Amino acid sequence: MSDFLETIVARTRERIRDLREADPRGVHREHAFLRALKGDRIRVIAEIKSASPSAGPIVDNPDVEAIAREYKSGGASAISIVTEPEFFRGSPQWIARAAQSGLPVLMKDFIIDRRQLTCGVAAGASAILLLASLLDAKQIRECIGVLDDYGVDALVEVHDARELDRAIGGDARIIGVNNRNLRDFKVDLATAETLGARIPDGVIKVAESGIKTKADVDRLRAAGFNAFLVGESLLRQNDRATAVKALIA
């Protein structure tokens, strides 16, 4: 685990120490996120976040509803919400606000406890990010089992071959390859090309980080990716709908 991850996990433990487990009784989201990513055409998961450790401030106090509408207008298949409050300045309240767009919403946080899963479901998430850098195969499988009870999906994120083995061993149905090295924050699309070749058939492949242009999308499409999680490069555009359209054109 990198020094950055160690720090943020330590802060997350403090943050959730008194978190109460939610009871999303009756919730079943019919695996809307997974269904939205299926198919051969380009699927964009458009992200909303206020800041990040690598980019610094991006959008101060974002108008979540308006941005989500722009993304949907541009043809995005789903929305990603970064809810971690300290390093990314996000909020779980943004999930329900983004869901007003009608698109499935992915909650991105640093999941280390079951309570975070049920709270995410109760907040309105259709999918929750699981980091294979923080969870072993058994824990990933258990988290997916919890989410399956509510028809909510797991996007299991990997950075290297060891983490990919954990995701595969945890029976992940959606695997995201993050092209950003969390030790030095450098981005290399070759990471997705290399790891994507090892992801089993039938698993949805999502490329994450460093995707800015249609040329980036086309390069990763050639490596077998149809879904792309894009954040900073869309958020910094004046016309976000047009920016999404340009990626999927």
Q: What is the pLDDT of residue 1?
A: 62
Q: What is the pLDDT of residue 3?
A: 79
4: number of Cβ within 10 Å? 15
Is there a contact between 119 and 19 (Cβ–Cβ < 8 Å)? yes
CATH number for the 38-248 domain, one of 3.40.50.300, 3.20.20.70, 2.40.30.10, 3.40.50.11690? Answer: 3.20.20.70
Is there a contact between 233 and 203 (Cβ–Cβ < 8 Å)? no
27: number of Cβ within 10 Å? 15
Q: What is the pLDDT of residue 54?
A: 84
Q: What is the pLDDT of residue 53?
A: 85
User: At a CB cut-off of 8 Å and minimum separation 6, what does 102 contact?
Assistant: 72
Q: What is the pLDDT of residue 181?
A: 82
Rg, C-alpha atoms of the chain: 16
What would the DSSP string read from start to end of 153-193? Answer: EEEEEESSHHHHHHHHHTT-SEEEEE-B-TTT--B-THHHH
Strands (E), the chain: 43-48, 51-52, 56-57, 78-82, 105-108, 127-131, 153-158, 174-178, 204-208, 227-230
Q: What is the pLDDT of residue 43?
A: 98
Is there a contact between 187 and 179 (Cβ–Cβ < 8 Å)? yes
Beta bridge partners of 105: 79
Residue ranges in the chain whose pLDDT is less than 70: 1
State how far Cα 55 lies from the chain centre. 17
For the chain, the structural domain boundaries read 38-248
Q: What is the pLDDT of residue 80?
A: 98
52-97 pLDDT, tens digit each: 888 889 999 999 999 999 999 999 999 999 999 999 999 999 999 9
Structure tokens of 89?
């300045």
Q: What is the pLDDT of residue 61?
A: 93
Q: What is the pLDDT of residue 202?
A: 96
